[in-house]
């Protein structure tokens, strides 16, 4: 068997039609843009903004967003080209299979689990925090936090988390909705997107009046900034290179990069798009542009309303509600409204992340790299229902027992790695198959893909060493599974020496 055997474009395009059991094409361009916005605007904006500003970038988190957006734009252009050429489920996994071979495709598919599955877990953790905030903290700390978390209450008593039950509840409900159908899920998502974007605009408009220019000075955290007090009573120093100045801004970009995860999830739904060659680039790039503008404005207002130091000892996941209730007291009603909108927004992000992961599993299963259970479709709804249920258990374990910061950083590194491979893939395909019909072409190749590799690679380097080591361990586990199961069950690998050529397809 050849580790680097590639799937021809003929095979990729024929795969969805094999066996008479396929995903339904029900999504239009509007659905895809909404799907992208639904996945993008969520925990990244409402949670990671405060985390990046408080611990690393300060008010210059706006620059962090710009850096992250540039990296995403380069990768997004590459994704758009691939999505227009290969409009089937699987995202970066499928693209790698066509350009770099099976072993690389497996590595990417395994990395995408960090993006989508851990992304869903991360957002469900934030959903739990905001839900408890809305309920007046009626859920005891122990039952809505990870065992790895602890905090002091007003009386100085320490509380330790046991399990995050609210996160499990929202994951179960959304998994059941996905089993019901993609179009139904997309309709619910579109409604949520309209509501949460409206609330973001309201916060920007009203919050602009409460910006204190002193909070934006200095714009970057100085190396001699006073240590911040954390919820557990310990002090947080800003002297580390990646906790102040430009180093902090770059680390901030790696953190808020999580806020952009989602536009690539659009590509996982390519097999369910009505006119994928036209609509996929619109969905990917359109959602990315809209969200970038909102992010820059939002982060400017949030760090102007509340000083960045506040986000280290107060607010935490519910940072926006904290800023409103503390510094915009005449608009207490907005805090409640924002919290409701954020909960709905988080729900749409989880929905798209779970959809993306199940579609990657679906494609890997049809290739034989995962067991058939992941590609079994519901006899009535034509959705990979068994995969959705297994995914609920898998994601639920992370959501119940990991803190948001750990899951969020792992999500970012998995996504950045996938972006780098997609950028490499575009250059390979351009060189090996220059005459291929491309409904959408990435401009300035190889400059754009190379810049995408550099920016995304820089953000990977800036992430904590613990995150990098955890991701490496995850990859080692993935390779063990590949060589013990996937390599021996690959449908393509068993026929590696008799693959048809793709030349006829390329000339069409």
Q: How far is CA 278 from the centre of its chain?
A: 23
Beta strands in 305-419 (DSSP E): none
Cα–Cα–Cα angle for 64, 66, 69, rounded to 5 degrees: 110
- pLDDT range class, residue 185, cuts 50, 70, 90: low
What does the pLDDT read at residue 15? 52
Rounded distance, CA 156 to CA 159, Å? 9
pLDDT over 60 (residue 501): no
Cα–Cα–Cα angle for 225, 229, 234, rounded to 5 degrees: 120
CB 39 within 8 A of CB 263: yes
What is the H or E stretch that residue 151 is in? strand 150-152
Rounded distance, CA 396 to CA 263, Å? 23
Average pLDDT, the chain: 80
Lowest mean pLDDT among 29-38, 69-78, 499-508: 499-508
- Report residue 387 as tokens: 């995969």
What does the pLDDT read at residue 502? 42
Higher pLDDT pick, 367 / 274: 367
Render pLDDT for 102-133 as a digit per residue (tens, 0 to 9): 888 888 888 878 778 888 888 888 888 888 87
Please tell me what DSSP assigns to residue 163.
-
pLDDT over 60 (residue 277): yes
pLDDT over 70 (residue 19): no
* Domains of the chain, start order: 30-507 (1.20.1740.10)
Query: Taking phi first (over 0 means left), then psi (-120 to 50 degrees means alpha), and beta for anything else, what does residue 136 get?
Result: left
Please tell me what DSSP assigns to residue 344.
H
Distinct helix (H) and strand (E) counts, the chain: 21, 4
- Classify residue 157 as exposed, middle or buried by CB count within 10 Å of its CB (0-12, 13-18, 19+): exposed
């Amino acid at each position: 068997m050849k580790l680097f055997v590639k799937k021809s474009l003929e095979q990729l395009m024929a795969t969805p039609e094999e066996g008479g059991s396929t995903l339904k094409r029900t999504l239009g361009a509007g659905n895809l843009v909404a799907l992208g916005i639904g996945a993008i605007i969520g925990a990244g904006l409402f949670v990671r903004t405060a985390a990046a500003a408080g611990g690393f970038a300060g008010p210059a988190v706006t620059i962090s967003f710009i850096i992250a957006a540039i990296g995403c734009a380069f990768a997004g252009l590459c994704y758009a080209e691939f999505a227009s050429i290969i409009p089937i489920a699987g995202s970066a996994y499928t693209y790698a299979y066509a350009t770099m071979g099976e072993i690389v495709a497996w590595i990417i598919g395994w990395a995408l689990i960090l993006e989508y599955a851990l992304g869903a877990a991360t957002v469900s953790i934030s959903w739990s925090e905001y839900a408890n905030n809305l309920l007046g903290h009626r859920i005891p700390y122990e039952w809505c936090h990870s065992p790895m978390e602890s905090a002091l209450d007003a009386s100085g008593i320490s509380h330790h988390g046991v399990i995050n039950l609210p996160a499990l509840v929202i994951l179960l409900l959304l998994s059941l909705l996905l089993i019901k159908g993609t179009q139904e899920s997309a309709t619910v998502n579109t409604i949520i997107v309209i509501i949460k974007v409206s609330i973001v605009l309201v916060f920007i408009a009203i919050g602009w009046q409460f910006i204190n220019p002193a909070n934006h000075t200095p714009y970057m955290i100085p190396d001699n900034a006073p240590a911040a007090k954390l919820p557990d009573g310990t002090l947080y120093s800003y002297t580390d290179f990646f906790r102040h100045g430009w180093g902090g801004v770059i680390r901030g970009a790696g953190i808020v990069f999580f806020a952009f995860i989602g536009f690539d999830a659009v590509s996982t739904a390519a097999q369910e798009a009505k006119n994928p060659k036209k609509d996929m680039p619109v969905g990917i790039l359109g959602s990315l542009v809209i969200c970038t503008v909102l992010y820059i404005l939002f982060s400017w207002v949030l760090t102007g309303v509340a000083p960045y130091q506040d986000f280290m000892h107060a607010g935490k996941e519910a940072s926006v509600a904290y800023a409103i209730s503390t510094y915009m007291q005449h608009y207490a009603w907005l805090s409640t409204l924002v919290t409701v909108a954020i909960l709905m927004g988080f729900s749409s992000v989880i929905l798209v992340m779970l959809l993306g992961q199940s579609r990657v599993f679906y494609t890997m299963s049809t290739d034989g790299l995962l067991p058939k259970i992941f590609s079994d479709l519901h006899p009535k709804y034509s959705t990979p229902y068994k995969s959705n249920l297994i995914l609920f258990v898998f994601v639920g374990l992370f959501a119940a027992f990991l803190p948001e910061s750990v899951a969020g950083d792992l999500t970012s590194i998995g996504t950045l790695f996938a972006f780098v491979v997609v950028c490499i893939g575009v250059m390979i395909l351009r060189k090996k198959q220059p005459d291929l019909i491309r409904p959408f072409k990435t401009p300035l190749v190889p400059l754009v893909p190379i810049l995408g590799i550099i920016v995304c690679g820089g953000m990977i380097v800036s992430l904590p060493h613990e995150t990098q080591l955890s991701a490496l361990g995850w990859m080692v586990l993935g390779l063990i599974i590949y060589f013990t199961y996937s390599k021996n069950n690959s449908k393509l690998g068993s026929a590696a020496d008799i693959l048809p050529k793709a030349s006829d397809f390329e000339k069409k």
